[in-house]
A and B are shown apart, each in its own frame.
Chain A
Amino acid sequence: MTVDTTEARPIPTADWVTIPDLYADPYPIYQRLRAQAPIHWIPAVNRHLVIGYEACHAIELDQQRFSADEAQSLMKRSMGHSMLRKDDPEHDAERKAYGGVLRPKAIKQRWEAVFDRNYATYAARLRAAGPGADLVAEFAAPYAAENLRAILGFANATQQDLQRWSQTLIDGTGNYADDPDVWAAAERSSREVDEAIDEMLPALRAAPDGSLLSVLGTSGMPLDALRANVKMTIGGGLNEPRDALATTVWALLSHPEQLASVRAADRWSDAFEESIRWIAPISMYPREATRDTELCGMAIPRGARLGVAVGAANRDPAVFTDPEAYDVDRPRKPHLAFGGGNHFCAGAWIARASVVTIALPRLFTRFPGLRLAPSRPATVGGWVFRGVLSLPVHWD
């Protein structure tokens, strides 16, 4: 890979792209941009948006040229400086401190039983709400939140606290409009999380329970880093399984033939992986160029703020045939929904266990005739974080 910038093309500007349009549906915008170049300057979001698969993948694998430690990061302001905005070796040391908490062995020994109980609780809530209920509000969101609460070890908080903390901290991370009310809500949540951590740590040091707080509390990680990492995990550990679950259910209910094929052979993993390729729950994340460089033949200046649009990369026709379609039968190729390289999603196996192993097969067996509510279509929205916002369903 060359870093010589003499032959590189300049990056075109796309001043017609707006944040409301991206929120409503980014995919037609990506199609139009893709016809011109894999990287564009988008004034509305103040970033160089990288939409090509090859370019996004190259960035993920090269932290020398493309740093996660972005200057003027809204995430750092909202959540503190977590490992998600650090490069190795600092990132690596903090990542190692998570130990085995989110890995398959702990999932089997500890978390699957928790997911199982939480499924029962929130499936009962959905059933009680009755046909026509919103599967996101009545099931996917509280299920994801309660799973996360247990994994983190917040015995002193509720799933509602987790939902509020997660949303307000994420809103701060995306507060490009610098709205003071958004900052106030994020700061309030940040204080509440700090207090909850301070209360739990002594108890967990006295009686370790295998939760993330318990493991981090004895890891020697400095308190600011611990707090920032816990907030990042609250932000990144709730919306993503919630949205992956709701989007997969919506996709399957909208494609009955594919649902039949998935049910017949228990292909819940295929349904899930294709769903997060199709609509990546985290569709964009930032990087910063550390030097003048070249990427896919385009010149990137030192200090450039990049938006790595994995949601666009996942629909790059150079990699995926008929990429706009949801198709569980497409040949398996690596999608970028979990990111790649050293920042590969630490919660990937948790998401797969809670959604693929537990929630999807149970919902579709225990709610016979599960179907979309005929008169109230699902709503979908979001750009940086995208998913099904409401999903009214019926069953027999």
Chain B
Amino acid sequence: MPKVVFHHSGDAGTVVDADPGSNVMRAAVQNGVAGIVGECGGQAMCATCHVYVREPYLGALPPVSEDEEEMLDCTAAPRDDRRSRLGCQLTLGGDLEEVEVDVPEAQL
């Protein structure tokens, strides 16, 4: 079962199990992880599921789509050119059985 580790302010992390085919945003919302809102339900429309992916996992991520790209310019916390992604676009399973992310200070 895929798993996601959410770090808040550099803490040791909260581990969440997720269904294959789910995504980082959904895993957070379903498990009540603080700091991930996911207002638009996963359409890359609201930029409230912004995460910073930790370095070791960057190579396993899907490419950034055009919709995600423009939305990453609308995040409340500063964009990190390498690590910023929308959680809703990070589908779990396959190459991404496990991922660790830092949750930004703000989503709104």
Contacts and interface: CB of A to CB of B under 8 A. Distances in A.
Contacts of B67: 100, 103
Interface of A: 60-61, 95, 100, 103-105, 273, 332-334, 338, 340-342, 344, 346, 348-349
A192 to B, nearest CB: 31
Contact of A104 (B37, B41, B71, B106): B71
B45 A348 contact: yes
Contact of A334 (B41, B43, B66, B108): B108
Give the bracket for the number of chain B residues in contact with chain A: 10 to 19
A8 to B, nearest CB: 22
Interface of B: 29, 37, 39-41, 43, 45-46, 48, 66-67, 70-71, 73-74, 106, 108
B39 A338 contact: yes
Given A104-B74, A338-B39, A344 B45 contact: yes
Given A332-B108, A344-B45, A348-B46, A104 B73 contact: yes
Contacts of B41: 60-61, 340-342, 344
A342 B43 CA distance: 7
B74 A349 contact: yes
A105 B48 contact: no
Nearest to B71: A104
B70 A104 contact: yes
A339 to B, nearest CB: 9
A341 B40 contact: yes
28 contacts: A60-B41, A61-B41, A95-B43, A100-B67, A103-B45, A103-B70, A104-B71, A104-B74, A105-B66, A105-B70, A273-B108, A332-B108, A334-B37, A334-B39, A334-B48, A334-B108, A338-B39, A340-B39, A340-B41, A341-B40, A341-B41, A342-B40, A342-B41, A342-B43, A344-B40, A344-B43, A344-B46, A348-B45
Contacts of A104: 70-71, 73-74
A340 B40 contact: yes
What are the nearest 5 A-B pairs in CB distance?
A344-B40, A341-B41, A332-B108, A105-B70, A342-B41
A341 B26 CA distance: 11
Contacts of A100: 66-67, 70
Contacts of A334: 37, 39, 48, 108
B39 A344 contact: yes
Contacts of A273: 108
Given A103-B67, A104-B74, A334-B108, 19 more contacts: A61-B29, A100-B66, A100-B67, A100-B70, A104-B70, A104-B71, A104-B73, A332-B106, A332-B108, A334-B37, A334-B48, A338-B39, A340-B39, A344-B39, A344-B41, A344-B43, A344-B45, A346-B45, A348-B45
Nearest to B73: A104
B74 to A, nearest CB: 6
Nearest to A63: B41
Nearest to A344: B40
Contacts of B48: 334
A346 B67 CA distance: 13
A265 to B, nearest CB: 16
A273 to B, nearest CB: 8
A344 B40 CA distance: 5
A23 B43 CA distance: 34
Contacts of A342: 40-41, 43
A60 B41 CA distance: 9
A333 B39 CA distance: 11
Contacts of B71: 104
Contacts of B39: 334, 338, 340, 344
Nearest to A95: B43
Most buried by B among A61, A344, A346, A349: A344
Contacts of A60: 41
A104 B69 CA distance: 10
A278 to B, nearest CB: 16
Nearest to A104: B70
Nearest to A273: B108
Contacts of B74: 104, 349
A199 B41 CA distance: 36
A118 B20 CA distance: 48
A344 B41 CA distance: 8
B23 to A, nearest CB: 14
Nearest to A105: B70
A308 to B, nearest CB: 15
Nearest to A336: B39
